[in-house]
Amino acid sequence: MEETQISLFLADFDLQVNQIDRIYDLLDARQKSLIQTDTTPETVESTGYWLHNLYCTYEDLFKIVSAFWENKFRTPDMSNLTC
């Protein structure tokens, strides 16, 4: 495996993890806001939107990982395995 490919994978991986961290920070701030004030429909919808974004960001992270590692470690005796 080339060093360039590994570097690109790590850069994509780090970017995705940073996005996940940013969304968690936003949701944490939103939770604190919800505790202190009355809940409005807009706040609930916005929180749902960010939870959906978090889910999608994790999904994208899994896609990055699987695309990078897929079929990298196959041996002849593994040819009949499926996920």
Residue 78 lies in a domain: no
Q: How far is Cα 73 from Cα 69, in angstroms, rounded to an integer?
A: 8
Residue 49 lies in a domain: yes
pLDDT, greater one: 35 or 19:
19
Q: What is the CA radius of gyration of the chain?
A: 19
Residue 53: pLDDT above 60? Answer: yes
- In this predicted model, what pLDDT tens digit does every residue of 33-44 receive, in sequence order? 888 877 888 888
pTM: 0.75
Residue 60 lies in a domain: yes
> For residue 43, what are the domain limits?
10-68
Residue 81 lies in a domain: no
Residue 5 lies in a domain: no
Residue 15 lies in a domain: yes
Domain count, the chain: 1
Residue 75 lies in a domain: no
Residue 50 lies in a domain: yes
